[in-house]
């Protein structure tokens, strides 16, 4: 293998590029490591004890470690953001109708929410520490801006969630119904607020504004409103939140479809299925619109990323849309292209003859890993189109009165259950890998922000994180599948504490939990 990294022949270079594009994960923090990071000789006798990692580039390993940890972590917020809001709607429906099925559905899904939320917190804590352990130069130079934003997320969102999630999880029959509902709404708002601050940080790194760079190389804030509300932030925030809602919608639709397919928990399955598909039918087409607006914003502020997404090497007027291609970074061209003439220009410039810059307009050293961005974008868009088709099919079946009796559609929704997670992961790959080789676009290169750590130290912690995170993911999935197999349980006697007078002047709470307004 060492000979592969030293050789200059084209096949070896291609293989090297493919290998690195294949093993990177979302939010990869640097483009391909330099060949000099791989020495020409390796002596096991002198490198005993750390031979697995000592011949690798610490920057590459640090990037891969951050990618692995954030790749696992993002699965949980992407689910809990939408699930918290959906639980608030379910509890509102129970309060409004008094139907015990809604109560049973809430108690079923809140158990799943609890484990997902807990694992999300645990996996998220590690990310903050990595800024200090692996990326201390980044923390030093950008800490004046990134630090306060992450602090706001903890002070506002995390503390808000922590204060009320106990009531949400354990307050049933211990607080009034309205207090419990209020706690659910606050936790849902907290998840959205958390997404707000995290995406503010990420958006500032994509389209930095509101700061100046001092003579010491440190970035200093000058306008916090400009820092928070960067040009890309509104589009990225709404796009991500909608993706979270779709992720939740397809999980719930899959579970509801499973119950209908298996003909058990039918009352619960029908409500889950219908509510989830209403969410999907509304948000999936909206996500296409939000994605288009986000793409136009990216075309304006990060045209190189768009060129990589489109697989466009040369600047073209009337640029074609590449449906399929195999980008070749060595020869700077695509193989096996299938394209639609002028469609890319029409989408990006709203003109059939609009000009779209190709990647050759930028130096090689400034380009992201093209193949990874190109294919991730197509997977994300393909999943989005399947989601829209699912929503349209649900509307068609509902109008025919066959939504709950069409077996193939129930099976289809079961198969679509994990697609939201796949779309989120590939979307983050496009966003974060697409801005490489910069950790802060146009300001700070990722290779300049690594801590003075050895490859052995980073590689060892990478292996440990990979094992532990995989274990956590397997345990979490196993727990969720067990809960799904068990299904909702009948609600027992629901004795609620008295509601203070200032909540309602007409509500009477009966010993059995019934309400008369």
Each residue's pLDDT tens digit, 70-101? 999 999 999 999 999 999 999 999 999 999 99
Question: Is pLDDT above 70 for 306?
Answer: yes
The two most distant CA atoms of the chain are separated, in Å, by: 83
pLDDT at 52: 58
Kindly write down the DSSP assignment for every residue of 411-474, as one continuous string: HHHHHTTTHHHHHHHHHHHHHHHTTTTEEETTTEEGGGS--S--HHHHHHHHHHHHHHHHHHHH
- Name the band, by pLDDT with cuts 50, 70 and 90, for residue 500: very low
pLDDT at 159: 86
Q: Per-residue b/e over 273-302, b at no fewer than 16 CB within 10 Å?
A: bbbbbbbbbebbeebbebbeebbbbbbebb
356, 306 Cβ separation under 8 angstroms: yes
Question: Is pLDDT above 50 for 38?
Answer: no
- Of all residues in the chain, what percent are helix, strand and coil, respectively (each to 5)? 65, 5, 25
Each residue's pLDDT tens digit, 406-459? 999 999 999 999 999 999 999 999 999 999 999 999 999 998 999 888 888 888
Q: Which residues pair with 333 in a beta bridge?
A: 328
- What percent of the chain is modeled with pLDDT above 90? 70
Average pLDDT along the chain: 84
pLDDT at 39: 35
Q: Per-residue b/e over 350-364, b at no fewer than 16 CB within 10 Å?
A: eeeebebbbbeeeee
pLDDT at 400: 94
**Mean pLDDT confidence for 370-379:** 94
**Mean pLDDT confidence for 385-404:** 96
Dist CA 187 CA 158 (whole Å)? 9
Indicate left, alpha or beta for 4 from its phi (over 0: left) and psi (-120 to 50: alpha): alpha
479, 113 Cβ separation under 8 angstroms: no
Dist CA 507 CA 517 (whole Å)? 5
Tokens standing for 105?
A: 């559905």
The answer for residues whose C-beta is within 8 angstroms of residue 232's C-beta and 6 or more apart is 203, 206, 207, 294, 297, 298, 301, 302
Q: Beta-carbon neighbour count of residue 131 at 10 Å?
A: 19
Dist CA 237 CA 191 (whole Å)? 13
Residue (of 458, 464, 394, 380) closest to 426 by Cα position = 380
- Name the band, by pLDDT with cuts 50, 70 and 90, for residue 503: very low
Q: Which residues pair with 444 in a beta bridge?
A: 440
Dist CA 187 CA 205 (whole Å)? 28
Q: Is the peptide bond before 437 cis (omega within 30 degrees of 0)?
A: yes
pLDDT at 53: 60
Helices 370-399 and 266-301, packing angle to 10 deg? 140
Q: Which residues pair with 438 in a beta bridge?
A: 445
349, 356 Cβ separation under 8 angstroms: yes
214 by DSSP, 3-state: which?
coil
Selected residue with higher pLDDT from 274 and 51: 274
393 by DSSP, 3-state: which?
helix
Each residue's pLDDT tens digit, 479-494? 999 999 999 988 665 5
| Cα separations in angstroms, 36 against 3, 5, 31, 33, 64 | 12, 8, 14, 8, 18
261, 195 Cβ separation under 8 angstroms: no
H or E element in which residue 253 lies:
helix 233-262
Q: Say which DSSP state 499 is in.
A: P
- Name the band, by pLDDT with cuts 50, 70 and 90, for residue 7: very low
Question: Is pLDDT above 60 for 34?
Answer: no
Dist CA 325 CA 322 (whole Å)? 7
pLDDT at 486: 92
The answer for residues whose C-beta is within 8 angstroms of residue 211's C-beta and 6 or more apart is 145, 219, 220, 221, 222, 223, 227
**Mean pLDDT confidence for 393-416:** 95
Each residue's pLDDT tens digit, 313-349? 999 998 999 999 999 999 999 999 999 999 999 999 9
pLDDT at 44: 37
- Name the band, by pLDDT with cuts 50, 70 and 90, for residue 275: very high
Q: Which residue has the tokens 């709203």?
A: 350
């Amino acid at each position: 293998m060492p000979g592969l990294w030293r050789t200059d022949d084209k096949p070896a270079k291609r293989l090297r590029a493919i290998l690195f594009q294949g093993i990177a994960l979302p939010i990869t923090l640097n483009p391909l490591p330099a060949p000099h990071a791989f020495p020409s000789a390796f002596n096991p006798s002198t490198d005993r004890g750390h031979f697995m990692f000592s011949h690798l580039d610490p920057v590459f390993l640090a990037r891969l470690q951050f990618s692995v940890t954030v790749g696992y972590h993002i699965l949980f917020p992407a689910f809990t953001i939408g699930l918290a809001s959906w639980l608030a709607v379910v509890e509102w429906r129970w309060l409004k109708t008094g139907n015990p099925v809604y109560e049973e559905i809430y108690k079923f899904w809140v158990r799943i929410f609890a484990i997902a939320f807990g694992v999300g917190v645990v996996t998220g804590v590690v990310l903050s520490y990595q800024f200090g352990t692996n990326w201390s130069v980044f923390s030093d130079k950008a800490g004046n801006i990134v630090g306060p934003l992450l602090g706001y997320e903890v002070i506002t969102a995390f503390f808000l969630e922590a204060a009320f999630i106990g009531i949400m999880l354990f307050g049933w029959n211990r607080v009034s119904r309205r207090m419990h509902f209020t706690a659910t709404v606050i936790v849902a708002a907290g998840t959205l607020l958390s997404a707000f601050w995290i995406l503010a940080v990420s958006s500032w790194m994509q389209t930095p504004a509101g700061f100046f760079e001092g003579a010491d190389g440190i970035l200093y804030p000058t306008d916090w409103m400009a820092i928070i509300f960067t040009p890309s932030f509104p589009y990225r925030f709404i796009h991500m939140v909608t993706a979270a809602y779709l992720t939740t919608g397809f999980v719930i639709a899959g579970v509801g479809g499973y119950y209908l397919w298996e003909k058990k928990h039918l009352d619960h399955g029908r409500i889950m299925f219908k509510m989830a598909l209403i969410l999907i039918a509304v948000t999936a087409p909206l996500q296409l619109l939000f994605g288009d607006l986000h793409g136009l914003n990216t075309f304006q502020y990060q045209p190189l990323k768009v060129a990589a997404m489109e697989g466009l090497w040369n600047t073209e007027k009337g640029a074609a849309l590449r449906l399929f291609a195999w980008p070749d970074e060595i020869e700077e061209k695509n193989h096996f292209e299938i394209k639609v003439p002028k469609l890319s220009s029409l989408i990006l410039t709203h003109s059939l003859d609009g000009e779209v810059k190709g990647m050759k307009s930028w130096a090689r050293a400034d380009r992201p890993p093209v193949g990874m961005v190109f294919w991730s974008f197509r997977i994300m868009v393909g999943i989005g189109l399947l989601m829209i088709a699912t929503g349209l099919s649900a509307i068609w079946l509902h109008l025919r009165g066959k939504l709950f009796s069409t077996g193939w559609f129930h099976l289809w929704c079961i198969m679509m259950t994990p697609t939201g997670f796949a779309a989120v992961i590939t979307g983050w790959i496009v966003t974060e890998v697409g801005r490489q080789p910069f950790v802060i676009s146009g300001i700070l290169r990722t290779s300049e922000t690594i801590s003075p750590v050895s490859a052995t130290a980073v590689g060892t912690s990478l292996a440990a994180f990979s094992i532990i995170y995989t274990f956590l993911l397997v345990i979490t999935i196993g727990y969720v599948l067990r809960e799904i197999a068990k299904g909702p349980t009948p609600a027992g006697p629901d004795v609620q504490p008295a509601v203070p007078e200032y909540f309602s002047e007409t509500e009477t709470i009966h010993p059995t939990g019934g309400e008369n307004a």
